[in-house]
Structures are given as structure tokens and as C-alpha cells.
Amino acid sequence: MDSITQAVLGATIQGALLGRWQGRKALLYGAMLATLPDLDVVIDYGDAVADMTYHRGFSHSLFVLSGLALLLTWLARRYRPHPGYSSQRLLLTLWLVLITHPLLDAFTSYGTQLFWPLMPTPTAWSSIFIIDPLYTLPLIVAVLVGLSGGLRERYTRVPAIALALSTLYLGSTLAGKYMAEQRVERELARQGIQAERLFVTPTPFNSLLWRVIVLDGEHYYEALTGWFDSAPPQLQRLPLGTELRPALADAPMHQRLAWFTGGMLRYDQIDGRLIVTDLRLGMTGYHPFRFDFAHWQEGRWQVNQHIDRLPFARGEPEQLLLLLRRIWQPQTEVPLLAWASELKRTLPAETGSR
């Protein structure tokens, strides 16, 4: 999630558990501690793929953060003891502030290595967009109330109420994801499509309209479906470019990217370059993670020694407004294929909707 959300989440947790004794300082301490795991972004791992796939690694590990909570508790009790609350209460507070950061990140589509140094596919429950105002708003209100009125008396309940509201909302996003998955699976069954993999993720800034990606051999389908839809989702077909994948079979960074994304990758040949795109993030035509992996030279693909990330467009305000209109007006046409500007030179004639 975004840094503001992580900060106010940590502040609200510490305010709820230690605000009676620490007052407004609890909000400051919680906000600072909650943003600590994201300091790994300052580390340069060597190239764009490494930077992406090592982010949310050791600093987001439940094992590492649990050990850090123990260490910080010991240091606080040794050098800044407070008679008002126990070591157990302090440990619980610091542990919750730290581990809720990676757990919340795991609800996004990016991928979080909760069990580092073990190496399962990074966790991406993908039920909430990286910025979701409805999740963050109760936490911001709780922090503002705490800053204006303190946390020592009647305001001590406000952080707990805010946490309950934001957690209930987070639970509702799981229900939305299940709804979208079931609708698309029914449509796949109706059309006789055997999906290799299905990935569901919310569209920007909301949990009412969902984007579903379906891998099917040499192609994939994209669909939009929302809570207010009555018609079956329309599947829009795009090429995966799997015929290009063998050229990267021996490339370690490609293997790492495939592991990190669970294989949700598209391969494009553009201007003599082999471009690999993470399909999970962004929207068709606006994928933020696209990598220049190889170039055509002397009759074959030469893997680049340094993998660069391509610049990407964030989309126009009109397109975001179109998606928001699509939530309330399901008949609104969203031209995903027309947005796929990076594919205009590679789209085959059979690409289209089903």
C-alpha cells in the first residue's frame, strides 16, 4: 500500500494500544515504525528486475519483523522503561505495527515475500488497489482526532473503531474478488475455455470494478466485471507472445521474474527488442513493469546484461473517469484493446472480443 496508508495504520494501532500512556507521541512512534519496512527501496540491487523482485523481501518478512519487535521491546524496556504498561503490551503493539505493514501489502497485486528467506511465490491476495481511499479514510480520521484531542481519555476508543471499520472494508474486498472470479469462471465454462491460470485484481482506487486476466495457451483474456453488472463479462483476447519465451530460458533474471509474478507475463517483439511485461499490475496499455530483456543481433536474441525498465504512461484522466463510470453504468464500453498502445505493432488479426 501507499506510504500514507501504512503510516496512519501504524499510528492508529499504536494509538489504540498505548495512546493512554504515550498520548500523541504514540501516533508519531507508530507512523515512523510502520514505514520502516519500505526503506528497502533505497537499496540498488543492480537492475530493474532485481529492484522489483527483491523489494518487499527481507524487510517484509514476518520472521525478520517479529525478531525486530522483540529487539525493540528489549531496548525500550532497558533504556526507556514505562511503569504504566507491561512488556507484553509493548511487544504486542510493536509487533502489530510492524507485521501489519507486509500483511496489508500482501492484499495488493504486487507480491510480498512474507516468509523470506523461504522462497514460495510471493503472496499477492490482490483484493485491494495500492491506493484505496475507503480503506485509508477511517485511519486518517482517527489520527486527526488523536492529534486534536489527545488519546488519554474519551478518544482512546476512536483508533479501535477506525481499525474495525478499515478491517471490515478489507474483508469486503475479498468478497468482491470472489464475486469477480466466479463470474468469469462461469463465462469461461460457457465458452469452453480451459484457463491455465486466472488472476483477479481491482481497478484503480476502488473495490467495485474488477479486472480479470485469464491465461490460455498462446493467448490471454482480459475482462472487467463489477458488483452492479447483470450481463456476463466480455472476454477480450490478446497474444501472450509465448513463442518468444524460449529465448530467455537461460536468463536468471527472467526466471526470477517468472517466479515473482507466478508466470503472469507477456512477451513482445518491438523494434528489435524483446519486451517482457508483468500483466498483473496496471491496466492494458498502462502496465508499469515492462522490461527490455534482449535485442536481436546476428540472427538471434542476445539477452541484455543489464535489464532496464521501460517508461510507462499512467493514462489520461478521461480513461480513469471512464472506468469509474463503468462501475455504475455496466453498459459503458471500455476499449481495452484500443488502450494497448504498446501492442499496436504486434497485435495479430484474430485479436478481439468473445
In a domain, 337, yes or no: no
In a domain, 39, yes or no: yes
Number of domains in the chain: 1
DSSP string, 242-281: GGGGGGGTT-HHHHHHHHHHTT-EEEEEETTEEEEEETTS
In a domain, 67, yes or no: yes
pLDDT tens across the length of the chain (354 residues): 999 999 999 999 999 999 989 889 999 999 999 999 999 999 999 999 999 999 999 999 999 999 999 999 999 999 998 998 999 999 999 999 999 999 999 999 999 999 999 999 999 999 999 999 999 999 999 999 988 876 665 567 889 999 999 999 999 999 999 999 999 999 999 999 999 999 999 999 999 999 999 999 999 999 999 999 999 999 999 999 999 999 999 999 999 999 999 999 999 999 899 999 999 998 888 899 999 999 999 899 999 999 999 988 777 788 889 999 999 999 998 887 777 766 654 444 445 566
Close Cβ partners of 311 (under 8 Å, ≥ 6 residues apart): none
In a domain, 307, yes or no: no
In a domain, 302, yes or no: no
In a domain, 265, yes or no: no
In a domain, 70, yes or no: yes
* CA gap 64, 202 in Å, rounded: 30
* CA gap 324, 327 in Å, rounded: 5
* Rounded-to-10 torsion of CA 54, 109, 120, 247: -70
Close Cβ partners of 174 (under 8 Å, ≥ 6 residues apart): 125, 127
Q: Is 351 helix (H, G, I), strand (E, B) or coil?
A: coil
Domain span including residue 140: 3-172
Query: All 3 cell numbers of residue 25?
Result: 507521541
